[in-house]
């Protein structure tokens, strides 16, 4: 049989263990609250980053569309310029293979020669 003193010691030990468990639970609750607050903050930061990313994507798409429109205008202008250049008369000196005289068109001085070369046009001397 257990003596009252042993039983009292067991109760005190049990009480101390319960107090430690309660303290541990309270500390766990505090840590959990801290983690939940941290999670809420990080989620807010994520939402802000996603909103910024969406805005950047929209800006990128707008700039891409603007670039494509400008490229189309440039290509159209090149086609028109080539049509105009084709209508210009060829200087007589070039017809006979002679170098162009001062004031006459010389294809080496043509600022658009690279466009014509890309389109397959060539000028021979």
Separation of alpha carbons 116 and 26, rounded Å: 81
Q: Are 81 and 88 in contact (CB under 8 A)?
A: no
Task: Examine residue 11 and state whether it is found in any structural domain, yes or no.
Answer: yes
pLDDT mean values, one per 10 residues, the chain (125 residues): 88 96 95 97 98 98 98 97 91 62 59 64 53
- Tell me which residue range forms the domain holding 47: 4-64
Residue 73 falls inside a structural domain: no
State the chain's maximal CA–CA distance in angstroms: 133
pTM for this model (two decimals): 0.49
Residue 122 falls inside a structural domain: no
CA atoms within 13 A on the CB side of 51: 6
Q: How many domains does the chain have?
A: 1
């Amino acid at each position: 049989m257990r003596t009252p003193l042993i039983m009292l010691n067991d109760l005190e030990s049990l009480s101390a263990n319960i107090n430690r468990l309660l303290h541990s639970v309270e500390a766990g609750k505090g840590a959990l609250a801290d983690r939940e607050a941290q999670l809420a903050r990080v989620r807010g930061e994520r939402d802000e980053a996603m909103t910024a990313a969406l805005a950047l994507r929209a800006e990128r798409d707008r700039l891409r569309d603007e670039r494509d429109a400008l490229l189309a205008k440039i290509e159209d202008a090149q086609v028109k310029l080539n049509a105009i250049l084709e209508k210009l008369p060829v200087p007589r000196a070039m017809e006979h293979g002679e170098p162009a005289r001062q004031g006459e068109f010389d294809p080496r001085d043509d600022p658009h020669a690279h466009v014509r070369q890309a389109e397959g046009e060539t000028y021979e001397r």
